[in-house]
């Protein structure tokens, strides 16, 4: 396959063929305001020490909170179950209060932990790396929780579930 200049539409389309899970990254900032955003750019980084990363777009409101470190040094990654597609949509769209009517408890970081999500990974920010129009935030894992269920997936611009 020849290498060529990549136009944005092609790049998006190629990336969309990588099936991923879906998370909502949540934060309780230093002023005790809650923030949450749908994120698929999440992955594991290291087992020892336990590290994960999320990639936050610089245009996202969460970037001013977590991407810069001005307002938060901890976060939670809520891995969504197949029943939580409405939450994935809500936390990726404009909404006057994304948490309104959404059930959650608070984790060790104080961040909202969404009811019935598949897994929760709570983190202390270890480092941040600027990467183009995103900032990669690497977190040291300080807590986890797990529920029964199947994952919500995202593939080629749509949601799907996995049965096995
Ligand atoms: C399935 C899906 C996955 C997304 N993944 C990411 C991501 O990994 N990083 C990111 O910065 N934005 C991601 N977004 C976009 C944000 O969720 C969306 O732009 C959000 O509205 C930004 O928050 P704001 O409106 O508070 O600025 C994703 C959106 C969807 C629908």
**pLDDT (0 to 100) of residue 163:** 79
80 lines ligand 1 (CB under 6 A): no
Report if residue 59 sits inside a domain: yes
Report if residue 88 sits inside a domain: yes
56 lines ligand 1 (CB under 6 A): yes
Closest CA to 72 of 129, 24, 28, 128: 28
84 lines ligand 1 (CB under 6 A): no
Beta-strand ranges (E) seen in the chain are 20-21, 23-28, 34-39, 42-46, 51-57, 74-79, 104-106, 112-114, 119-131, 134-146, 152-155, 158-161
How does pLDDT run across 49-87, given as a tens digit for each residue?
Answer: 999 999 999 999 999 999 998 899 999 999 999 999 999
At 4, is the pLDDT very low, low, confident or very high (cuts 50, 70, 90)? low
Domain count, the chain: 1
Report if residue 157 sits inside a domain: no
- Distance, in Å, from the CA atom of 67 to the CA atom of 147, rounded to the nearest integer, reads 28
Where would I find the H helices in 26-157? 61-62, 85-90
**Structural domain of 44:** 21-148
The whole-number average pLDDT for the span 28-52 is 98
Q: Could you tell which of 33, 67, 92, 134 is best to mutate to test the pocket of ligand 1, judged by most ligand atoms within 8 Å of the CB?
A: 92
The whole-number average pLDDT for the span 13-29 is 97
Q: Could you tell which of 55, 60, 93 is best to mutate to test the pocket of ligand 1, judged by most ligand atoms within 8 Å of the CB?
A: 60
Report if residue 121 sits inside a domain: yes
The whole-number average pLDDT for the span 43-53 is 98
**pLDDT (0 to 100) of residue 2:** 55
- Distance, in Å, from the CA atom of 85 to the CA atom of 7, rounded to the nearest integer, reads 30
Report if residue 29 sits inside a domain: yes
- Distance, in Å, from the CA atom of 159 to the CA atom of 153, rounded to the nearest integer, reads 6
**pLDDT (0 to 100) of residue 1:** 54
The CATH code of the domain that includes 84 is: 2.30.110.10
Report if residue 14 sits inside a domain: no
- Indicate the DSSP class of residue 7: P
CB 80 within 8 Å of CB 117: yes
Report if residue 33 sits inside a domain: yes
Residues 6+ apart with CB under 8 A from 21: 40, 42, 79, 80, 151, 152, 153, 154
Q: What angle do CA 49, 27, 108 make, to 5 degrees?
A: 60
Confidence (pTM):
0.96
Report if residue 12 sits inside a domain: no
How does pLDDT run across 95-147, given as a tens digit for each residue?
Answer: 999 999 999 999 999 999 999 999 999 999 999 999 999 999 999 999 999 99
- Distance, in Å, from the CA atom of 123 to the CA atom of 50, rounded to the nearest integer, reads 10
The whole-number average pLDDT for the span 23-33 is 97
């Amino acid at each position: 396959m020849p290498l060529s200049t990549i136009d944005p539409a092609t790049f998006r389309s190629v990336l969309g063929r990588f099936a991923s899970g879906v998370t909502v990254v949540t934060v309780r900032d230093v002023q005790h305001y809650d923030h949450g955003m749908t994120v698929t750019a999440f992955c594991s980084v290291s087992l020892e020490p336990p590290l994960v990363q999320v990639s936050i777009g610089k245009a996202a409101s969460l970037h001013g909170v977590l991407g810069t470190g001005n307002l938060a040094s901890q976060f939670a990654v809520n891995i969504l179950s197949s029943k939580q597609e409405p939450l994935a949509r809500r936390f990726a769209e404009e909404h006057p209060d994304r948490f309104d009517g959404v059930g959650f408890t608070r984790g060790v970081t104080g961040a909202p932990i969404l009811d019935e999500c598949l897994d929760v990974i709570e983190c202390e920010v270890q480092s941040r790396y600027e990467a183009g129009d995103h900032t990669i935030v690497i977190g040291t894992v300080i807590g986890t929780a797990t529920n029964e269920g199947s994952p919500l997936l995202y593939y080629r611009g749509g949601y799907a579930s996995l049965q096995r």
